[in-house]
Chains A and B, each alone.
Chain A
Amino acid sequence: MTRSTTTTATGGPADTGTPTVGRDAPAAKEPVRRAAPRRRGRDGARPWEIWVPLGLYLAFTLVPFYWMLLYAFRPSGTTGLLPWPLTLDHLLRVWNESGFGVYFANSLKVGLVSMVATTVVALAGGYGLARYDFRGKKAFLLAMLCTQFIPGALMLVPLFEIFKTVGLVNSLWSVIVAETVFQLPLSLILLSGFIRNVPRELEEAAWVDGCSRFRGFLVTVLPLLRPGLIAVGSFAFIHSWNHFLFALMFLSDQEKYTVPVGLSYTIGESGSDLGSLAAGGVVAAVPVIIIFALIQRYLVKGLSAGAVKG
């Protein structure tokens, strides 16, 4: 982005101008100065300056998770602060009797199908944006930015009418389509950023070797897009796994519910049975937490790769 170049340009001369003087004079002292900040961290922070705030924030993050696990695995009627004796009763009950097993399968279907659909459509569109100039490109981009201002909650009624017309109400497909559409603009923009970061010359070399445009893309660009695809695909999955309102509106049969819908009804009835609520929460959390654990390394790297050159 222009941002990084302007900062270097504006900040550069001012910063490098004076240090050259200082760097020449105390030449002997320099290694010491360099070594000290490195041991104390990049910005010269002392260990307690990191660990006190970090510890506090970790507590804020983890205590709620622990609280959920505590209720989910502790027998009803006990109030200990350790889930002991450990019981799977709550989990088995919500899975088999409250229907979370069915909700889980539904959510998985919605999540996987809309993940694949979003990624494929966004990949095609992103490639078009990154590698071609065409009439209406700016309008297309502007339109995609504007979609970010459309409140999903406020589209419930017109979307419901559409799905009623095409006979998809109370079908998981209505949710799949709606999630895919709302995920598309950001995924497309993100993927086109990743594609633009792949040097064009790689593709051109493949064409010289006699590859078609499509084959050239498969051979050269696609393997390099792995971090981007992982990021976009898992965003899409997590988003549709988590999203609540469309499923709440479009699905009416209990055996079609997704996990968040099932969970929202459990919240409504939670006055008496906190163990079920917590166990339902565990069912909702496990897939996204696993995916998060797998992709979190890519998360920051992927975003900086997409934004730096962008």
Chain B
Amino acid sequence: MSKDPYRAIDAWITGVIDETPAIKTFVVKPEIPLKFRTGQFIQFTLYGEGEAPFTPSSSHFEAEKFEVTIMRAGRVTEKIHKLKQGDVIGIRGPLGNGYPLEEFEGKEILILGGGVGMAPLRSLLLTLLAEKEKYKKISLLYGSKTPDDIVYKSQFDNWRKKGAEIFQSVDKCETGEWKGKIGVVTCLFEDIKPNAEKGVAIVCGPPIMMKFGTLKLLELGYSPDRIYLSMEKNMSCGIGKCGHCALGKYFVCKDGPVFKYSEIKDIEGIWD
């Protein structure tokens, strides 16, 4: 019998990192190294309980172990959050198409992220930084609801040291502890003026943030085929058969999850 695309391979949880009250990062060691490309996703299987799709948040140059950052948002993620070091899970993947890094080479890269949408972007950032000589400039603009909601808090300085230019904002801060910019992530463009002509932009975050982030990038002069979006849809089979993640004529799992804005801009409800 040929390969069963629905069968998961075993993997072990080798570490759990609390990012925020609702977000954890799991370090996963699959029985066979997961050779993914940054931006591709996996199905995270709780045997007998359910499956949910996530994009690894670690560099694609590490296949032995990878990380996946998960927000508690529903039935399956509620259970995933109870996992401890040593627990066995299943992994299906890698699935879909990742970020087309070859299209980014030699360009100024602007990464626009919001909330837990930072997960796939962290994978991208780490992958880019590992070969930073290939890219002209790497900038990250990251917005969170409050300072407590920032994921990967302790890592930003390290990324700066490795060569990324980073700007951060929070929507609000009632305690006064936040010394940086306050406002939705697009407010960061008040201070920085990216070179849209020479750049590409990659966006991931909650739907409302992706919508206004994309509109802002268009206003700044990015052409629709230079804006890359990681689309979140209800991927079930992950291989283009079950129909759940239909986005217009595309299946996000097979044709995405990374799309150029130009490919999907005319589809109704892309931000819903």
Q: Do A and B come from one complex?
A: no
> Which residue numbers of B lie inside 8 Å of A, CB to CB?
none
> Which residue numbers of A lie inside 8 Å of B, CB to CB?
none
